[in-house]
Amino acid sequence: MVKKEIRMITKFGISINKSSSSKFFLLLPYFLITLLLIVIPLIIVFIKPFQPTNDAIDGSQIPVSDNWSFLTATVWGKIGMSILVAIIVTAVCVVFGYAFAYFLSLSKSMTSKIVSISLMTSPMWISFLIKLVGLKELFDTLAGTTNSTYGMIYTIIALIYVNLPIFILTIYTFLNTIPKNLLQASKDLGKNSFQTFFLVILPYTKNAVISGAILVFLPTLTTAGVTQFMDNSNSGSLIGSIMLDKGLEATSSQIALARVATLSLIICLVILVLWTVAFLIPKTIKHYRGIRRSRKENINA
């Protein structure tokens, strides 16, 4: 009996070692990809702004302060405008995208669902540049003249046009996973469709809304090329356009490389601050409110 137990323990230990080694080999490719494509580039971006550079012409050393000197009021204004545009685009995509996905999920016809999703996501099937060309040609045709798109509004419309299908697809996929018994239970409790939406459906899809909003907000914040193509005014560029210009210069200039790394670091810090304000602070406040509530209940008890 004791020998049997020893054999079982030995086999169990061997199986654990095999499963651990198999997990290691399965995770190894992802670890290497993450290390090469994410971790190392981020380390370079974080180190480069704090290193002096050499002038390509005379070889003189440029101080570290020069890497930060180009962060003028104009650049900070572009960062602020980029954040504002990203918030507007994300808000529009959340409101209209959620409404479209919700009402489409209520449809009984599978054919109408397939056709609607196909039409809505059709811009995702073609090149990003071709989408912008088609949209710009549409505005020029409506205006009756070429290069008629002047103003930030055209950039916002183009960004909504590009990102709205992504948000709709994210929400629609999640709405289809809502258990029907939850909706039926809400009806059995006497809740109407309006109450069911706010008490059941919206809380259930909260994570999908957050994921979709992030998928829209981050690319919009650092988008490059859309402003130059859609907005013919000289003052319509966003921070992504400045990063693109500096990045092109960085192929032949160490100074431009240090500056674009500095700008990338600033954008990372801005995103971190926005994430803290949007998610971390509310969670912290909610946590401390829960602690206070539990203390009051314990005192009253």
- Position 12 scores a pLDDT of 47
Whether 163 is covered by a domain: the verdict is: yes
Question: For position 249, which CATH number holds?
Answer: 1.10.3720.10
Whether 34 is covered by a domain: the verdict is: no
Instruction: Show the domain range for 201.
Output: 81-254
Whether 296 is covered by a domain: the verdict is: no
Q: How far apart are CA 213 and CA 192, in angstroms?
A: 28
Whether 115 is covered by a domain: the verdict is: yes
Whether 147 is covered by a domain: the verdict is: yes
**137-149 tens-digit pLDDT:** 888 888 777 777 7
Whether 18 is covered by a domain: the verdict is: no
* Phi, psi of 250, rounded to the nearest 5 degrees: -70, -15
**191-224 tens-digit pLDDT:** 888 888 888 888 888 889 998 999 999 989 988 8
Whether 53 is covered by a domain: the verdict is: no
**36-91 tens-digit pLDDT:** 888 888 888 888 888 887 766 666 677 878 878 888 888 888 889 999 999 999 99
Whether 208 is covered by a domain: the verdict is: yes
| Residue 173: both structure tokens together | 């996929």
Total number of domains in the chain = 1
Strands 61-62 and 53-54 turn out to be: antiparallel
